[in-house]
Structure 1
Amino acid sequence: MLFQPFTFKNGQTAKNRFFKSAMEEQLAKHNRPTEQLVRLYDTWAKGGAGVLVTGNVMVADNGKGSINDVVLTDDRSMDTLKAWAKAGKQNDTLLIMQINHAGKQSPKVLSPTPVAPSAVALQGMDGFINPPRELAAGEIEELVGRFIETARLAEQAGFSGVQIHGAHGYLISQFLSPHHNRRNDKWGGSLENRMRFLVEIYQGIRAAVGSEFLVGLKLNSADFQKGGFDENDSIRVVQKMSELGIDFIEISGGNYESPEMLTAKESTKKREAFFLDYAEKARAVSQVPLIITGGFRSEAAMNEALQSGHLDFIGIARPFALMPDLPDKIRQGTYQTITTNRIKTGVAAVDNKIGAVLEMDWYMAQMALIGKGKQPNPNLSPWKVLLKNLWENGKAGLSTGRS
């Protein structure tokens, strides 16, 4: 089933079921796309995936979550954007731009006072991320427009579609969560109000782009946080977005305070598909094309998940940073199940404190190698990555890597 084509309702066809999920590349310069990004996606497109999703492209200058994010608010970088789109669409590949705003998940070096639905501070981020201020109603409307404009520019550049990032604790995810969103106006309170920001972004984009341009969503199955966005809420959002006509939904989970996307129980790891149980529940209320990302490593597990009928694509992220031609290897029968071991320095005090960030930085370093036309290096020293990050970004760099 992995190599069966899939045609979306708008007529666009993915040549197979491999969905390269978003990873933060951190290859922008002055927050604009670069030739390294073009080369990275050129490599991935030639590697056989049906769908490639970019890392976060931020819709506003005050929405950056990392130092070297791409920020797309105007057409100044249109030539490079077009080159990026052309490279990523080679070999009959669909290239989706993930669009996002970090909200309060923005380090203080970038946002002295980050913005959020409500002035609720992130726990455990003291010294890295400052408490946010609450967005005014007019600012919320303006941000809806920012998402729409970024999507319009992506279409102009030639991308196949956009993915609205509503997961991992970023701004849309913050609006969806009753823990983070404590507003008492039309943007908060009931789930209907909390999802209004997402709904208006989607409807605005849909009205601004052509019918063949894909508009999808990345959504948490849950925040895994007391009083937060839970599975029941998530299923209701899936149902609502399905009714509105969203083109696809990718499922993940967690946020900075509870990073489920970075960790999983051993039993879940063995099964590989982190969110398969949730997918079955989502399928009961929606027939929108569904992707789950997290844990897939073996060809057998990928095929088994597709055969279950609960999902339509296999979401894979980190293995693509080590094996850019993973789909082609499976198609050719030369694939050996990739292992992605924890990246550790071996010093417990370091690994316990910044292990998750170091791991993301290590994978970003692999993508940087590919972007320079080199091969990934599975033996790359974590210490080398750590020291390079500290040299270039100081302590702030330890808080700015993201998934």
Structure 2
Amino acid sequence: MTATINTALTLASGLTFPNRLVKAAMTEGLADSRNRVTEAHVTLYRRWAEGGLGGIITGNVQIDHDHLEQVGNVVIGPKISNEALDGFACWADASKSHGAALVMQVNHAGRQTPKLINPRPAAPSPVALGLPGGQFGEPRAMTAEEIQAVIEGFGRAAKVAKQTGFDGIQVHAAHGYLLSQFLSPLANQRQDDWGGPLENRARLLVACVKEAKIAGGAGFSVSVKLNSADFQKGGFSFEDCLGVIDTLDTLGVDFVEISGGNYEQPKMMDQEGMEPVFDQPVSASTQAREAYFLKYARAVQDRAKMPLMVTGGFRTVAAMNEALASGEADLIGLGRPLCVDTTAPARLLDGTQDALDQWEKKLRIGPGLFGPHSPIKIIKALNGFGAMGWYYEQIRRLGAGQDPDEKMAVLSAFLANQKSEKAAAKAWRAEAP
């Protein structure tokens, strides 16, 4: 039978997605000053659940209070209170209230931890981010003990997720966060067992997956989010991606989500004009599709034994169904459109709507030199982070029980988001031990 967005999918763990539309991970920034789940998470995810999704992946839940992507991240630390566990259980109940499978994305930000959180973040090697603005500190090389703590952290998160009603976790090894840093020859310049050849650079990812599978036990889903490439010369390449896929094939990973980029090369934020980074023939029909990473997923399918989730740019039902029917994708990841229209999946599934609005094409901080293809690096970064700020503000509105504000100006949203993060950082610092 040819798969469509309405077709159910049962994974090797036994977890079933009732349809192929999955909410991809997006940072919520809604945790309280002690990095706990709040009522805003529950409200937001109940609204997404009501929209008819087959699966929901949370925004990244961190394993280390000192290495957050932003102060509003939820954290599962070495010690977790009963009150915090109750929050996770409420989050899970709301997310699964309409039948969606629920996966917790688990992460460690590494050197992509903002300076206001940690001026000396742990990383594979002391290689600073090549970004203007000074928002990130000088990283330091992790010790063997710190690396072991990361492995234990992913296991701890899997245990908490299972205990509180989540169906699985997704190990975040993309977008330039810690596991992605270890995979990159640019960020990882270690001379020990954790650096050098790909086998060593992938060692931490492999260890985290194994630990999570042990902690979660039978019937618990463990998946991975992996870059197709970092899109940086000398960085994690597509050939590296294929090598990691070969390794993950041996570990019983439930599915792999294909993405790409990092903070220095934010392809996951603004994928227009992506250049191919491998010599792979692509059909005219594939070139005409809107999915950013589909051509990479097509090549990965030749090597992968597990299903693939492709996220980024899918907007029409026709393209989604073509990708599923051709076997290029097994799950369709949806992100930003759900920040504006939480009920769209149900309409896509019942045929009353054939496409999602393309909000990202409207979100630019000016024309010409100040557009998405500006040669000025800081302007390009502002467009990416400005659009992110706009979506973060929509998420905050949804979590507060309000409707999205489709007329919100991008620059205003960016500044409002910066203000909110600074206020949250001040409250977070006051609570820090």
TM over 0.5: yes
1:64-114 CA deviation, whole Å, 9 max, x = no partner? 111211111233211111000011011211111000000000111011101
Q: How does 1:1-12 map to 2 (within 5 A)?
A: 1-12=4-15
Moved over 6 A (4+): none
CA contact (8 A) 1:261 1:294 kept: yes
Q: Which amino acid aligns with 1:141?
A: Q
Mean CA deviation greater in 188-197 or 118-127: 118-127
May I ask how many residue pairs the two structures share in their alignment? Answer: 397
Q: Which amino acid aligns with 2:11?
A: F
CA contact (8 A) 1:342 1:359 kept: no
Q: How does 1:4-403 map to 2 (within 5 A)?
A: 4-30=7-33, 31-73=35-77, 74-76=79-81, 77-266=84-273, 271-335=289-353, 337=355, 338-340=357-359, 341-346=361-366, 348=370, 352=380, 354-394=382-422
Change (3 A) 1:304 1:256: same
Q: State the Cα distance separating 1:162 from its structure 2 match.
A: 0.3
> Where does residue 400 of structure 1 map in the other structure?
none
Query: Partners of 1:266 and 1:391 in 2: how far apart?
Result: 31
CA contact (8 A) 1:128 1:396 kept: no
Change (3 A) 1:240 1:202: same
Query: Partners of 2:247 and 2:381 in 1: how far apart?
Result: 39
1:361-403 CA deviation, whole Å, 9 max, x = no partner? 1101111111122222221222432342343345999xxxxxx
Q: Structure 1 vs Structure 2: percent identity of aligned residues?
A: 42
Query: Partners of 2:404 and 2:354 in 1: how far apart?
Result: 16
Q: State the Cα distance separating 1:132 from its structure 2 match.
A: 0.4
- The alignment's TM-score, normalised by the length of structure 1, stands at 0.94
CA contact (8 A) 1:78 1:157 kept: yes
Q: State the Cα distance separating 1:327 from its structure 2 match.
A: 1.5
Q: How much is the aligned-residue C-alpha RMSD, in angstroms?
A: 2.0
SS of the residue corresponding to residue 197 of structure 1 reads helix
1:114-152 CA deviation, whole Å, 9 max, x = no partner? 110011111124511112000011111111111111111
Q: State the Cα distance separating 1:11 from its structure 2 match.
A: 1.5
1:236-284 CA deviation, whole Å, 9 max, x = no partner? 1011101111111000000011111122245899521111221121111
Stretches of structure 1 that go unaligned for 5 or more consecutive residues are 398-403
Q: State the Cα distance separating 1:157 from its structure 2 match.
A: 0.9
> Where does residue 401 of structure 1 map in the other structure?
none
1:156-194 CA deviation, whole Å, 9 max, x = no partner? 111111000000000000001111111111111111111
Stretches of structure 2 that go unaligned for 5 or more consecutive residues are 275-285, 371-375, 426-433
Q: State the Cα distance separating 1:334 from its structure 2 match.
A: 2.4
Query: Partners of 1:201 and 1:390 in 2: how far apart?
Result: 33
Query: Partners of 1:233 and 1:345 in 2: how far apart?
Result: 35
Mean CA deviation greater in 250-259 or 72-81: 72-81
